[in-house]
Structure formats: structure tokens, C-alpha cells
Amino acid sequence: MAAVDPLDWTQEQAERYFDDATTCDRLLQVADRIFHVHSALLATRSAFFAGLLGEGFAEQQKTLIALDIPAPSPAAAEHVLKHLYTGSICNVMEFHYIAASRSPEALAAADSCCTSFTLLEDLLPRLTSAAAKMELLAAMQIDWQRPVSTGGGSTLAVLFEKEVLKPAFADTLESTAVTRWLSGAAGEAMQVAAEHLPCAAVHAAFKRERAEMAARVQRLEDEVDSHESLRKCTRCDLRVSAHDIDNKTHNATSDCVVAAHTGTYRAGYSAGWSCCEEKLKKSEPCGYVNTGRHIFTFI
């Protein structure tokens, strides 16, 4: 076993021990590919694997577990497992064991497979942005031919609508991204998926952005008001509010004291200020002079 418990691995360690034959405690078979996995880590990070490897299931006692998914893709399974190990989503869009082709047989098999969608539902909450969720869902090649809201939609289409209607989705959805998707700049799959975004999700995102914009404008106005209300003394650089000046409160009525040489300057061989130690000529003042009242002006 690995020296460090899998649950305490750093991302670097998780990448190092991924599919590692020397530290694994289970073998996962997907089609003709065998993966060396760590059951404790998978069970913690995936409800699907927690059920598969949990107590009361025959698979818990098996060393070799066959993952029975219609039209399984070892490459796609590898991306899913890497995501569960490291949290990386760079390749998660390749998770398309549903079917590389759009054949009716493949789509029908995917539609009837609850196990596949349990894994997919496991992945979606891990994606922190609406853009990442859209990229993954668009890569699933959803069958949009059947209406969703009427209950006749494909399993993927229903899952899509369920996911994008969550408040967390609208919280990270950006209007600029929606515009780019609809323009086709992000590809045909993203364009079609964006066209099927429910109005409620888009309206919620736009409402949030309008509120954020209003809050930013208010903050800027407050900063401008605060700046305009300040006054500065032209001699000592004291800064006070216009309110304090009008009401003669706080430092507005204090004496104006500036730093200066308090002696006289002498020229000649021993040039320097009489007030300075050793009569050296210094650029920095050596004392303070009370000049009377402040002279305030706008900043």
C-alpha cells in the first residue's frame, strides 16, 4: 500500500498513484481494460462507487470488479477516474461512453442505462462553473428531437434541464458566454445546447448581473461622493471632511503645524542652519512651526 492514506493524498500523489498496481486494492474492468484503483478514495468521492463498493454488495468482496455499462469506453472511463482522483476537469468533456456515433441503438442503450447517468450526476456537481457544465453536457450529444418539459425527452435532455435550472448554475452563468455560445463561436454542440437553455436560467443570470452592475455603480458613486467631500490644508496636508469644516469638529479647528527649520541659515565656511546639530545644512526640517489656522482647499 502507499505510505500515505489515499484520503490524505495531495493532487500530485493522486496523479502518481493513479492506476498504480503496487498500491491498489481493487481491479476495475471496463471492456478490455483493467484499472488499478483504490476503493477508499473512490467510495469517498463518488456516490456511484460508494454504492458499488459499499457494505452489502457482492462487489465489496471481489478483487476484480467488472463495470457493466452499455457501449463502455475505456478511454472515457479513464477520464472519469482521473477526475475522481485529482479533481482535474481538463479532459472530462471526453466522457462520452454514451456513444461516439449518433446511432439509434447507441442512444437507446444510453437512455436506458441508469448506471451511466449516476456517474454523470456524480460529475456535474464537481464542476464549479456553468461553462464547464455546459461543455460536459454538450459533449454528451443530447437528443433534442423529443420535447423535455412534456416528459417525453431523452434521459440526457431531462438531466440537462434539471441541472441548468438549479440556482447554482445561474449563479455562475455569464451573459457574454451565452452570447458566444449562441453565435456558434464555441462549436455547433454548444450552440445547440445554448438554444435549449430554459428562459428561467438565462433570466436569473441576467438579473444577477444587473444587480451586480447596480452595486458596482453605487460603490463608485459612494467613492466619488467621499472624494469630493474631502478638503486638504495647503500647508500641512491635513485632510478632513467638508462636514467637519462646516461644523468645526474634530481636526478642522486644530492648529496648522508644519515641519521646518526653526533657526537661521548662515553662509560661509560653516554654512548651515543654526538650529541643526553641528550646523549642517539638511534638506529635512529639524523642527515644527505653528502657522496658525488651516487653509483648506478641494483635493
Outline where 71-166 has alpha helix (H).
74-86, 104-111, 114-123, 130-139, 155-164
- Tell me, yes or no, whether 239 and 136 share the same domain: no
- Tell me, yes or no, whether 32 and 102 share the same domain: yes
pLDDT band of residue 178 (cuts 50, 70, 90) is: very high
Query: Using CA atoms, how far apart are residues 122 and 101, in angstroms rounded to an integer?
Result: 24
Q: Could you tell me the pTM of the whole model? A: 0.44
Mean pLDDT, to the nearest integer, of 35-39? 90
Mean pLDDT, to the nearest integer, of 213-242? 81
pLDDT band of residue 108 (cuts 50, 70, 90) is: very low
In Å, how far are 22, 123, 147, 259, 294 from 233, measured between CA atoms?
75, 61, 71, 14, 6
Domain boundary among 80, 108, 126: 126
Domain boundary among 92, 126, 160: 126
- Tell me, yes or no, whether 14 and 109 share the same domain: yes
- Tell me, yes or no, whether 1 and 122 share the same domain: yes
pLDDT band of residue 271 (cuts 50, 70, 90) is: confident
How many domains in the chain?
3
pLDDT at 146 over 60: no
Mean pLDDT, to the nearest integer, of 27-53? 83
pLDDT at 6 over 70: yes
Least confident of 23-27, 42-46, 65-69: 65-69
Mean pLDDT, to the nearest integer, of 147-173? 75
- Tell me, yes or no, whether 150 and 209 share the same domain: yes
- Tell me, yes or no, whether 109 and 146 share the same domain: no
- Tell me, yes or no, whether 29 and 120 share the same domain: yes
Q: For the segment 184-201, what is each residue's pLDDT rounded down to a tens digit?
A: 888 888 898 899 898 888
Angle of helix 175-183 relative to helix 199-228, nearest 10 degrees, comes to 130
Query: Using CA atoms, how far apart are residues 130 and 134, in angstroms rounded to an integer?
Result: 6
Alpha-carbon torsion, ordered 89, 95, 101, 103, to 10 deg: -130
Range of the domain at 269: 230-298
In whole numbers, what is the pLDDT of the chain averaged over residues? 75
